[in-house]
Amino acid sequence: MPGVILKDVRKSFGKHETIHGVSVEIGDGEFVTLVGPSGCGKSTVLRMIAGLETVTAGSISINGKEVNGIAPKDRDIAMVFQSYALYPHMTVAENMGFSLKMRGLPKAEIDAAVKKTAGILGLEPYLARYPKALSGGQRQRVAMGRAIVRNPAVFLFDEPLSNLDAKLRVQMRTEIKDLHHRLKTTTVYVTHDQIEAMTMAEKIVVLNDGRIEQVGTPLELYDTPVNRFVAGFIGSPSMNFLPCRRDDAGGLTSPTGQKLTDTAPEGPKDQPLILGIRPENITLQPGGIPCEVKLVEPTGAETMLSLELSGVAVTAVMKARVKARPGETIHIGFEPDSWHVFDEDSGLRIPTAGS
Amino acid sequence: MPKSLLRKFFAYGVIAIALVLTFYPVAWMLSASLKESGEIFTTPVFSSGSAGLGNYVSAFAEYPFFLYLLNSVFASLVSVLVTVLLGALAGYSFAKFRYGLSTVFWIVVLVSLMIPLEAVVIPLFLEVHSFGWTNTYAGLVLPTAFNVVGIFIFRQAFVALPDDYIDAARVDGAGELRILFSVILPMVLPTVVVVSVLTFNLNWNSYLWPLVVTSDDGLRTLPLGMAAFQAGYNTQYGEVMAVSVFGTLPTAVFFLALQRYFVEGTISTGVK
Ligand SMILES: Nc1ncnc2c1ncn2[C@@H]1O[C@H](COP(=O)(O)OP(=O)(O)OP(=O)(O)O)[C@@H](O)[C@H]1O
Ligand SMILES: [Mg+2]
């Protein structure tokens, strides 16, 4: 039985509709990330699942039961907030035990559950402390502990790592993933960081402007994005986009007459197209497409190049060390079958021979 | 003199003047309460009088000031309780909920703040009289127990609290009353103190309503008792001052006990 099902869910604040019909199925035990740019409605969707926001239209069900009119406390969900929202006047143990206390569990049982969860998260030494005496990372852990201790049917995370520094974020990412492997609780994880989404999720839901753009595994989104938005959003650095048209030789050519590819998907010649190529799929190729080097940024393992191709800025990431200097011209090529073609007007991807 | 030192000097100067202005009358009252009537205007303010506690003893022999004190304390504490309770409830509602008539209710609150007791004292008395509450503790305490400013101050404090705390508590399974009293109110303790001190003071000094609604000597509050005493013994300044000291003491104690929170609260709530 699926864990969480959203059916054509809509949300209006006043007259203004912000979520325009979202449908998605989240399987029992699945780890799903909800990703999208700021303001696209991720938090709103999550809060509707939690019951903190009413649903204007459509339905949400958790474990087979429609929960539209049900209060948050009766939905068997736990939520971790971006701000953590730890109660400042309660100790770590009291914070973690609060929901169990609300459920009327006996004190001994609460203590045992809190202790066990604290053990999982390495929080035992801090149980008697108040939140203000904890570091950011420890607070984050307490916020997770507060969710875990209840053993809910669904975990909801709203950008839980965005207040941590980069190193801790990477560490917590692994820990949350690990925890999910152990607990196997259905999880909806909201983030605007696509790397977080890619590395953590079994399934990603890409949201844009209150609509789902695409649902798929991280690699599906990476390899076969349905449109230009998803293509540009998933992957870092983001995909390069080059305006082009079909040429007489059956390939693609830029508006300045620069030949880009030898093949192209079938279609009318006057259709404005966009060629999408990821930075990591660009290679050095003698006799290839000439580009002017704008900037060279070696990071050790790889080299990031900012190039200009027919007047369009292009980013390339090379595994090899590149000795180019700004102002010089280099010649590049695209790895076979690595590029995508999009219709400029609709933004939709046009399948090529390779995919 | 360096600029910063000059500024400090100036700041301390202002504070010193404020202190003298505030404490001179108190000191005068205290010293006069320890003097014989003849000494008050003939000896320096800061000289010790020869009355000892005589003024206190004689004043208390003439009027049951301890009973008045108990009445005042009772009325003020009930008022604090009612105001904190209702003020927090209404403040929470106004701060965190929007519903059809909430704006209308808010305007009603604002308007009621602008109506002085003097304007409504007669209809209020008639109302209370129709309950049969004249000359009862209920009539003395309840009609003026609620201090509308409490709603204001609590709303202010709650608006500043992030919604995430409330949402977290909701997800944790707490009902709205539980959220208010177990989660939110403990987070704004300084505000609770500010509301309590303001309300206690307001009620402690209230004169008009107790005067109107009670005629029974046993129901008198301190201000009434002091006024009656002053009217009867207006030349006995030593005794009048002794009673005044007695009447000032509880508010001073109440305030000093909560002073730390009060300062914190007035800074964070922006009220005086
Ligand atoms: N209570 C509200 N009243 C009115 N509009 C709201 C409310 N909550 C959210 N919105 C609007 O809904 C849209 C989506 O907001 P939401 O917080 O879900 O975005 P988000 O994807 O979580 O963004 P972020 O990444 O910045 O957190 C925004 O345009 C926001 O202004
Ligand atoms: Mg958000």
Contact B155, A83 (CB under 8 A): no
The token duo for B178 is: 């539980």
pLDDT by residue (tens digit) across A130-174? 999 999 999 999 999 999 999 999 999 999 999 889 898 999 999
**Ligand 1 atom 29: residue of nearest CA:** A39
**Stated pTM of the model:** 0.85
Provide the 8-state DSSP code for A86. Answer: -
Find chain B residues with C-beta within 8 A of A50's C-beta: 167, 171
The class (CATH top level) of A238-350 is: mainly beta
pLDDT by residue (tens digit) across A168-192? 899 999 999 999 999 999 999 999 9
Whole-number Å distance between alpha carbons of A204 and B249: 68
Find chain B residues with C-beta within 8 A of A99's C-beta: 171-173
**Ligand 1 atom 7: residue of nearest CA:** A13
Which residues lie below 8 Å from residue A106, measured CB to CB, with a gap of 6+? Answer: none
CB B187 to CB A89 under 8 A? Answer: yes
Contact A247, A259 (CB under 8 A): yes
Residue of A nearest to B178 (CA): A102
User: Counting one residue from A and one from B, how many pairs have CB atoms under 8 Å apart?
Assistant: 53
Domain A2-229, architecture per CATH: 3-Layer(aba) Sandwich (3.40)
Handedness of CA A190, A193, A194, A197 (dihedral sign): negative
Confidence grade of residue A12 (pLDDT, cut at 50, 70, 90): very high
**Ligand 1 atom 4: residue of nearest CA:** A13
Facing residue for B170 by CB, picked from A72, A89, A103: A72
Q: How far is A315 from chain B (nearest CA, A)?
A: 40
Closest CA to A332 of A293, A275, A276: A293
Is the pLDDT score of B264 beyond 80? Answer: no
CB B172 to CB A77 under 8 A? Answer: no
Among A12, A15, A40, which residue has the most ligand 1 atoms within 8 Å of its CB, making it the best to mutate? A40
- Residue extents of the structural domains in chain A: 2-229, 238-350
Confidence grade of residue B272 (pLDDT, cut at 50, 70, 90): very low
Of B96, B97, B163, B172, which to mutate for an interface test with A (greatest number of A Cβ within 10 Å)? B172
- Per the DSSP assignment, residues forming a β-bridge with A11 are A19
Q: Which helix (H) or strand (E) holds A21?
A: strand A16-26
Contact B199, B262 (CB under 8 A): no
Distance A181 CA to ligand 2 centre (A): 25
**Continuous H helices in chain A:** 42-50, 92-102, 107-121, 136-148, 166-183, 194-200, 218-223, 228-233
Distance A158 CA to ligand 2 centre (A): 7
pLDDT by residue (tens digit) across B40-49? 777 777 777 7
Provide the 8-state DSSP code for B225. Answer: H
pLDDT by residue (tens digit) across A194-248? 899 999 999 999 999 999 999 999 999 999 999 999 999 999 899 999 999 999 9
Which residues lie below 8 Å from residue A145, measured CB to CB, with a gap of 6+? Answer: A92, A95, A96, A114, A117, A118, A120, A121, A123
CB B170 to CB A85 under 8 A? Answer: no
With a 6 A CB cut-off, is A44 part of the ligand 1 pocket?
Answer: yes
Domains and CATH numbers, chain B: 64-231 (1.10.3720.10)
Contact A62, A153 (CB under 8 A): yes
Q: How far is A18 from chain B (nearest CA, A)?
A: 19
CB B169 to CB A50 under 8 A? Answer: no
What is the predicted pLDDT for the residue at B267?
A: 67
Looking at ligand 1, which atom is closest to the CA of residue A190? 22
Is the pLDDT score of B239 beyond 90? Answer: no
Is the pLDDT score of A354 beyond 60? Answer: no
Show which residues on chain B lie within 8 Å of chain A, measured between beta carbons.
Answer: 162, 164-165, 167-174, 178, 183, 186-187
